[in-house]
Structure 1
Amino acid sequence: MRKITLKSSLLLCFLFISKNTHAGVQEDFQKIIKKHHFAESTLGLYVEDDGKKVVDINAGKLMVPASLTKVVTGGAILTKLPLNIKFVTELWSKAPIEGESLKGALCIKGGGDPSFVSEKMWYLVNEFTRSGVKTIEGDILIDASRFDSELFDAGRDSVRVDRAYDAPVSPVSFNWNSVNVYIRPGLKENDPARVFLDPINDYLELENRTKTVAKSGVKTIEVSRVKMGLRDKIIITGSISQNAGESVVYKSISNPSLWTGYHLKQFLLQRGIVVKGNIKEGDCESDSKVLAKVDSKYLNEMTSDMLKFSNNFVAEMLVKNLAAEEITKGKGASMKDGIESIKTYLDKLGLNRKDYVLENVSGLTRDNRFTAKQLALVLTSIKNDFLIFPEFLSGLPIAGVDGTMKNRLKTQDFSLVRAKTGYLDGVVGLAGYVGRKDNSPLIFVFMFNGGFDQGLAARPLFDALISELFKL
């Protein structure tokens, strides 16, 4: 009897200590919020410790999550697609090879690879060179049939911009469907600035209307991308000081099929292979042979690209691939189908579809709505799934180290923070895990919805709240 009493006392003592560890945390949060001059009504905050609620401030309130949506997208992608899946880009042709000539068209078949960049193109072309072909007598065909024809998800904000974060999505894509515009001052006063497009090919036209000036501190350079028929033009205007350093601007392109096709033609030429025909969109013929192919990165690496750098392009590419694999079986995949697949993932977590709004999988919209508690549930389910948790965790930005958290919380202790950021004008988010050396990680979700000016101050507020969690 005495043993039972002792055990019961120890258990009660443990529970008291555990509960007391979290006592006052919410009040401390409220003091910090007040110190930073925020109204609690603009915030949705939730902190959980191994299933126990630590902080709940409007955690059941539906809010715009911005790129915190990628927490949901990443969880669904890693859960529903096999970790060993590869998206393959191939070169097909049914034309005979006679001597060093391919007597017909060469078709590039897009596999929906969001990691198809210059290095992958080089690999693909190098493999093709081993066929011995030096001349392609026909056209380059671009087969984008794996996805539907919608380049810009209807769930995004309706106003298109030429920034890289608003790049189009296609199964045949190259370098995230964006171009790097490097700008240096001219060699002498009154010279135009020196402009370098990377990668460069005949798809882009450059219009340089800049001027180099002797006066220091002058930089009025503006860069825009405009459509020019089926292709694009980069227009650069303004002045730059002669002693200015190099700067870079990232711009999206409008036609991913032709953008990729023109680069394929250029890469082939650099290996001594001449294309006599034109670049056209069209399906590869079914009885063609595969002459070269290149695999994508592994799924965990692509998911990391999405999470660490909040890459909207990668998010939407992966979700369309989810639709292609799960619903449309490799042809005509739509974003609508991909979102339906994510919703079935959330169904299994117990979320009612009437209780949230998912219109765009990257968060590039003000129409999405989630509560802090719902996002915490997703983070908890990921933590409890050993198959995907290490991959998801390693993909999150590390505070003070990399990704979108590189310049925040820059001391060694805070590298235990692994978190996804979110931002739109007047919308700020931070969600993830606070690691502890002697315990399981805390799960937290912080969201702010309010005015633009106060939104700029939300990041320091959230960093202060993270600092408070390190006391637990």
Structure 2
Amino acid sequence: MPIASLILFSRRAPQFVSSFISPTLRSASPGEGAPSGRGLGRAALALGLCAALAFATPADARKLKHRPRVSVTTELPASVTRALERAHVPLSAMSVVIERIGSATPVVALNAGKPMLPASTMKLVTTYAGLEILGPDYRWRTRAYADGTLDTAGVLHGDLYIQGTGDPKLVPEELIDLVDRIRKAGITGIDGGLVLDKRFFDPSTRDLPAFDDDANAPYNVGPDPLLYAFKSLSFTVTPASAGTVDIDVVPALAQLKIDNELHTRAGACTSAEAAMPNVTPESDGTVEALFSGEYPVRCGARTVNLAVLDHTAFFAGGFLALWQQQGGTFKGATREGAVPIGARLVATHEGPPLGDIVRDINKFSNNVMARNLFLTIGAVADKPPATPQKSAQAIERFLTSKGLAMPELSLENGSGLSRDEHISALSLADLLQAANASPVAQVFVASLPVAGVDGTMRNRLRHDPVLGNAHIKTGTLRDVRAIAGYVAAANGESYVVVSFINDDRAAAARAAHDALLDWVYRGMR
């Protein structure tokens, strides 16, 4: 049965699973912001915007598989070229494709076939392929196995194994479900080890170098089969009474100790450096977060997000903190290892469906979630352990099966946080056309940020007519600005829009992309 011919932009912004997720997602990608998940902006609510995008028909989709590689060049509007000039970015650094939904011929094509750095718009390739290959209802499963005997007091005399399959959103509210299920299986204490089975991803996917020098930034977190809470701690510093300062941290880690030597002072909020802890692993296995110095009262509450420890220590600490909060006991050590053949399954946690995961990835440009999805595609399409090569080959096979020839495509980790990932504007436009004509069109399009309303587009074009009338994925690196998605124009037409700017001064040229979207909304007049 064909999908509906119209898609309506959501009147409600997505809600997070926990208050912890929001600040972490906000720092998930360098240069890209995200909302707190509290709903649409007041302007959008007041206007009650409800723009429509027309999907291509199956017949249109078949035509797109055999579309000609045209070389059309249409002069861009003065608003775009002036913005480039102000940023001192040459037109040759910009790649643009604009197409009507369902049409095989671009309306505008500038440097269309040139391989470009796409930054986070590469997530569109990963999420669309994931939705089609795995299905929107795909769920990751995290399992617990017991290897030992259980006494009448509920103490396991042996090891508890946790086996991960790369759940991208195993946050505290999700992991507590696994803890509860283990306890319902009769286990209240562990007189043995906590063993983590992480064979779903190949060891070569671990301990990769950070993308930049900010190794503790959440956007630099690498993938892991037992990714917990994006491997990031969220510290919130709040001035309290009598010159003291309160410190809250989420998620809780069993081995984390807070040393609070902060005190408040009067005066202007000139710096919040005191809110940045010095995190140090100790020889006894504990981790100390030291806060010291003066904190200006006028700074109010401040939150700092840090990616600390390795994945194994972070997951173990998070699991044990929840385990002990529920009254569970643990006397052993933590290590990695494979679940033995004789171990019995005692609990299974199913994560959110892929459709929800894709929404988080695209709305908030979460790199580590995209990387976990990328590797999952390879593990499912081939077999574990996943490698980037398996995943890239699986996605390329899928694209070929859809008639999407992309000879210039280069995939490294599927998130766009890379200097080695490339795609052309024409190829990404092809993918957007195919996605819009596919069975997963509604969940895919709805996952993209809405201009002026939510996600990484929340603070853009809020006072322009295109507000609420475009679903646009953004991409940001130091020398890259990118946009890709769909615009419902005022003339009733719907368009695919893709544009990349690759230049050392790209950061100053964001206005050119905003002007481009506004021009498309106005019918390119």
Q: Secondary structure at the match of 1:94?
A: strand
2:227 is aligned, of 166, 173, 184, to 173
Could you tell me whether the CA contact under 8 Å between 1:231 and 1:258 is conserved in 2? no
Mapping 1:88-127, distance limit 5 Å: 88-100=141-153, 101-127=155-181
Identity percentage of aligned residues: 26
Q: Secondary structure at the match of 1:105?
A: strand
1:146 is aligned, of 200, 216, 239, to 200
Which one is further off, 66-75 or 238-247?
238-247
2:454 is aligned, of 387, 402, 419, to 402
Mapping 1:9-48, distance limit 5 Å: 26-30=74-78, 32-37=80-85, 38-48=89-99
Distance 1:236 1:73 in 2: 40
1:285 aligns with 2:337: no
Could you tell me whether the CA contact under 8 Å between 1:227 and 1:254 is conserved in 2? no
2:69 — aligned with what? none
Mapping 1:302-341, distance limit 5 Å: 302-328=357-383, 331-341=384-394
1:242 is aligned, of 280, 294, 297, to 297
1:218 — aligned with what? 270
User: Which letter maps to 2:219?
Assistant: Y
Distance 1:449 1:119 in 2: 40
Change (3 A) 1:356 1:125: closer
Could you tell me whether the CA contact under 8 Å between 1:167 and 1:254 is conserved in 2? no
1:366-404, Cα deviation, whole Å (9 max, x unpaired): 22222111111111111121x111111011111122111
Deviation (angstroms), 1:184 = 2.1
Deviation (angstroms), 1:42 = 1.7
User: Which letter maps to 1:49?
Assistant: R
Q: Secondary structure at the match of 1:355?
A: coil
Deviation (angstroms), 1:128 = 1.9
Could you tell me whether the CA contact under 8 Å between 2:161 and 2:197 is conserved in 1? yes
1:15 — aligned with what? none
Could you tell me whether the CA contact under 8 Å between 2:259 and 2:288 is conserved in 1? yes
User: Which letter maps to 1:260?
Assistant: F
2:250 — aligned with what? 198
Deviation (angstroms), 1:338 = 1.0
1:458 aligns with 2:512: no
Distance 1:403 1:208 in 2: 34
Number of residue pairs the alignment of both structures matches: 442
User: Which letter maps to 2:129?
Assistant: A
2:100 — aligned with what? 49
1:359 aligns with 2:412: yes
Could you tell me whether the CA contact under 8 Å between 2:121 and 2:482 is conserved in 1? yes
TM-score between both structures, scaled by the size of structure 2: 0.78
1:321-365, Cα deviation, whole Å (9 max, x unpaired): 11111112xx32112211221222233355556423222310111
Distance 1:108 1:35 in 2: 53
Change (3 A) 1:381 1:60: same
Distance 2:454 2:207 in 1: 29
1:385-426, Cα deviation, whole Å (9 max, x unpaired): 1x1111110111111221111111225752120011000012
Long gaps (5+) in structure 2? 1-72
Q: Secondary structure at the match of 1:461?
A: helix
- CA RMSD, aligned part only? 2.6
Distance 1:357 1:123 in 2: 38
1:428 is aligned, of 463, 468, 481, to 481
2:497 — aligned with what? 444
TM-score between both structures, scaled by the size of structure 1: 0.86
Q: Which of the pair has more CA radius of gyration? A: 1
Deviation (angstroms), 1:114 = 0.8
Long gaps (5+) in structure 1? 1-24
Change (3 A) 1:160 1:409: closer
Q: Secondary structure at the match of 2:371?
A: helix
Change (3 A) 1:134 1:153: closer
2:67 — aligned with what? none
1:369 aligns with 2:422: yes
2:39 — aligned with what? none
